[in-house]
Amino acid sequence: MTIRKILILAANPLDTDRLRLDKEVEEIRTTLERSPNRDNFAIESRGAVRPQDLQTYLYNLKPQILHFSGHGGGEWGLAFENEDGGVKGISTESLTDLFKLFTKQIQCVVLNACYAVVQAEAICQHIPYVIGMNQKIGDQAARKFAEGFYKAIWANYSIEEAFNSGVTAIKLEGIPEELTPVLLKRHPSITINSKPINSDSSVIESNGYFYIVRSRLEQRCYEEVIKAGTLIRIKSPERMGKSMMMGRVLEYATQQGYRTAVIDLREANREIFADINKFLQWFCAYVGDCLEIEQRPEDAWKGFLGANTNCTKYVEKFFLNSDDSPLVIAIDNFDCVFRHPDVEADFCGLLRGWFEKVNTSKVWGKLRQMIVYSQESYAAHNINQSPFNVGLPIELGELEALEVLALANAYGLSWVELETAQLMDMIGGHPYLVQKAIDRIAHDDIGLEELVRTAPTEEGIFGDYLNERLQQLEANPELVVAMLKVVNADSATRLGSKEAFKLDSMGLIKRQGNDIVSRCNLYRLYFKDRLS
């Protein structure tokens, strides 16, 4: 008889809120003792777990289910303990690398910690089932979920059925946190309206143009947008495909019967950004217009309540209570708000508050938020008032060589790896630049050799695009100095954090550890000449 092993790891560092982790372990053990199948399972538990303990426990104890109880901090990671019992965080990337080693061994990971859905999303690349929490979760709710989950496991139910049992246990206790646990499954990636390229991407056609779709990332968004109260953050430098992905996710939401509203912050002028009340009234009016609801927010505003409270009450009354269907509010070009610090602080705190309201109000579970942006604010903010360390982060990167080759083939070009490498040696894998280049070549506007030769000049097909980037740099002399340092260096160089942050947000550089290089030869050659 094969015995299934469950490993429960707990960490409650001295400088964090006290959790009754021992009680959670005790209740899980009790459910096993009462099960007629108790001889088929074994529970191992370890407390005060340090980062260096993880590999040892996983190799030596060989669990099929790993259960972690403790504290989570969204993108910051999970809180383990150091030698003195203080906090020692483990990043999402480190956890993902760890579980990649145990793909064949571990069937399910349960992260019973606040905001641990961030880690769950990453780990799910390698583990069939991962459970995380998309909000803060109370101590009692966490214990009840674990109790209900393992009762089903001992009865030989599937992971999905056990997850539903855990959620039901929270409901039966009368705790309004049943929407907090999230089950993620490692799915084969989808292919949409297209022929497959590889497991993660596909080519689609729209209005005579072909595009690369990041199918795995889109699938994650599709799974997330149907969850109550969720927040999705789509980030990349300019023209990397953010708005396209946002549009496809909104199309999917519409197919599910959801209402959608897209707010483009570029349409808010300086006068609107001058005052938080005026800005939030504009925001509410914009949402109402998208939903074809005629409203005058200024008439419902009560000055003594404050801008954020007025906005929250307005959204709840007119947009959430007025219709039973979920509402997706997508905010495009969110970066615009960062130029107005007074509005930024209140608006970011407002969105974070809406995200957390699902814990205490079912009506706010009907709201889904999407934020689309090129950069995060460089200013330091209270992490508990920021929407940028919760929810599902989606970051779009450059295309890989096989994707570029697939795009060229979709346009009818008989390219092989040689032509792909020749193009990418100049422009890298920037989706906009690649798509523009291949489209022009496919329509016989220019040959590959000539395109590469003229690319880093204003004579070439990227001239207007490069000139726009040049004007952005010249508006900030500090960035000119920083970019010159990058393009004139023979190898990776070091920049100040502020300059590196801004150049990275513009998409002009990429990081190699703590050092910086130009994102591609196109930028290196063009800016080396034009900024000299």
∠ CA 230-234-240, rounded to 5°: 160
Q: Report pLDDT for 188.
A: 41
What CATH class has 464-530? mainly alpha
Four-CA torsion 242, 248, 252, 254, nearest 10 degrees: 100
Distance CA 106, CA 63 (A): 6
Lowest mean pLDDT among 54-63, 195-204, 294-303, 409-418: 195-204
Mean pLDDT of 324-332: 95
Mean pLDDT of 478-490: 94
- Provide the pLDDT confidence category of residue 459 given band limits of 50, 70 and 90: very high
Mean pLDDT of 129-141: 87
Average pLDDT, the chain: 89
Distance CA 461, CA 38 (A): 69
CB 352 within 8 A of CB 308: no
Residue type, 319: F
The 10s digit of each residue's pLDDT in 47-105 is 889 999 999 999 999 999 999 998 887 667 888 999 988 889 898 889 989 999 998 89
Neighbours of 32 (CB within 10 A): 19
Mean pLDDT of 469-481: 93
Two tokens at 164? 């539903």
Q: Report pLDDT for 298.
A: 85
Distance CA 440, CA 425 (A): 18
CB 211 within 8 A of CB 192: no
Two tokens at 310? 């007025």
Distance CA 174, CA 10 (A): 26
Of 410, 423, 443, nearest to 213 (Cα)?
410
Distance CA 217, CA 224 (A): 11
Output 440 or 380, whichever has higher pLDDT: 440
What CATH class has 4-185? alpha beta
Residue type, 74: G
Neighbours of 517 (CB within 10 A): 17
- Provide the pLDDT confidence category of residue 512 given band limits of 50, 70 and 90: confident
Residue ranges covered by each domain of the chain: 4-185, 226-395, 464-530
317 pLDDT above the threshold of 90: yes
Mean pLDDT of 504-532: 91
**DSSP string spanning 368-435?**
EEEEEES---SS---GGG-GGGSSEEEE--PPPHHHHHHHHHHTT----HHHHHHHHHHHTT-HHHHH
CB 109 within 8 A of CB 98: no
Mean pLDDT of 363-390: 82
Lowest mean pLDDT among 98-112, 173-187, 298-312: 173-187
Distance CA 205, CA 191 (A): 13
Terminal-residue alpha carbon distance, the chain: 74
- H-run or E-run covering 279: helix 276-290
CB 204 within 8 A of CB 244: no
Answer whether 4-185 and 226-395 agree in fold. Answer: yes
Report the CATH architecture of 226-395. Answer: 3-Layer(aba) Sandwich (3.40)
Q: How far is CA 235 from CA 246, 265, 507, in A?
A: 11, 15, 11
Q: Report pLDDT for 300.
A: 85
SS3 79: strand
Residue 244 burial class via C-beta count within 10 angstroms: exposed 0-12, middle 13-18, buried 19 and up: buried
The 10s digit of each residue's pLDDT in 271-281 is 999 999 999 99
Mean pLDDT of 350-367: 93
171 pLDDT above the threshold of 70: yes
Lowest mean pLDDT among 57-66, 179-188, 341-350: 179-188
Pinpoint the alpha helices (H) of 103-225.
117-123, 139-154, 159-172, 215-225
Lowest mean pLDDT among 4-18, 309-323, 329-343: 4-18
